Amino acid sequence: MNDGLIPKRYAKALYKLAKENGDTQEIYELLKTMSRGLKGLDDVKRVMLNPKIPNEDKGKVMMQVIGAQPGSSLDKFILLVIKNNRTELLRKIALSYVNIYREEHNIAKLEITTATQLPQEKIDNIVAVVKQHLGDLTYEIEHKIDPELIGGFTVKVGDTLLNASVKNELNQLRLKLIS
């Protein structure tokens, strides 16, 4: 089986369980934290993949990383994943769950990247323009700073990218001059 199908199956099972228990949103927030935590914490990854550490201890570490309560359905689910030797897929499972939740609740992740910090008013203007073009979904807004953009901004919603950066304009000008 491939690494895309397995995480989706686990995520669907967890979503079904969470729906039955009425805690889909709580688990959604925790799994967003988990996916960010596993992305950057090499120490946590080493602990989770270490075969000498008991599964229960791995589960406790993961629950501490995401701030979940021991004994919850998420706790039991994480232990099941670890027990089934799918620990390396935890981040992908978390991301799959987050995607399922967003689809079910019409939530789009809106990633705005600028060269410098923008005032909230400017961010709100960008969000308003996006809403005009993509519809009135619920947006989770993430603002990133990338000085390499020089100026302007990029907006990413799902697979769609709008690049209104000075860096992009300079690249386009360079390509025109070359041809």
pLDDT value of position 150: 86
- Output the pLDDT for position 117: 93
Could you list the mean pLDDT of each consecutive 10-residue stretch along the chain, which spans 179 residues? 82 94 91 75 75 85 78 84 87 93 93 92 90 85 90 87 84 85
The per-residue pLDDT for 39 is 65
Domain locations in the chain as residue ranges = 5-103, 108-178
Sign of CA dihedral 57, 61, 62, 67: positive
CATH code, residues 5-103: 1.10.520.20
What would the CATH number be for the domain defined by 108-178? 3.40.30
- Report the pLDDT value the prediction gives residue 40, as an integer from 0 to 100: 60
Q: Which helix (H) or strand (E) holds 130?
A: helix 120-134
The whole-number pLDDT of residue 9 equals: 95
> How far apart are the C-alpha atoms of 73 and 112, rounded to whole Å?
34
